[in-house]
Amino acid sequence: MKLILASSSPRRIELLKEAGFDFEVRVSAADENAVCAKDADKLALMRARLKAESVADELLMYGEEFIVLGADTVVERSGEIFPKPANERDAIGMLKRLSDGDHNVFTGVCLVSSDNRTEERAVCTAVSFGAFDLGRIEAYVKSGKAFGKAGAYGIQDEELSFLIKKTDGARDNVIGLPVATVTEMLKEKSKWRQWK
């Protein structure tokens, strides 16, 4: 049985590789922006399911056994959802609003198997940011690392380490994939050992 990652995210690919999983990558053609929800955890789950189901539908024609892993990460503070930034000004504005306080990072994980079973979970990590520093934030944004990431930041980026005060929960969840949760979900499948 194949494990398929429905994402081209280099961070998710790296996390799965570091965990020792054997998998293939197939990028979902689904438009995640077509999905709307008020709650960040529900939005992350809906987007993860959309990606996983899109790839699973494509694979069904080949008649092979598979499990597709879809994931989506959403950043939320006080009810405001922070998507991927559209430009430098957008990224700086997001980081300014996230500074000096706590926010939540939700990653929705969805498994869709060739026998039409679906399992999903949302994982939350709380992140605390320190004071906003315009010069350092602008330098970070100009490096290009703020783009393609919900909330306009990567917790693993050294240039932003000055802003991160603490995290409560799985750090890899903030990066984009809660590996322990994925492992647990796959362990519940009878053939999970073929993937590690």
Q: Which of 72, 115, 133, 157 is catalytic?
A: 72
d(CA 110, CA 152): 24
Beta-ladder partners of 108: 72, 122
Tokens of 173: 């969840």
Phi, psi of 59 (to 5 degrees): -80, -25
Q: Which residues of 102-124 are buried (b: 16+ CB within 10 A; e: fewer)?
A: ebbbbbbbbbbbbeeeeebbbbb
d(CA 87, CA 91): 6
Residue 72 annotated to the active site: yes
Q: Which residues are catalytic?
A: 72
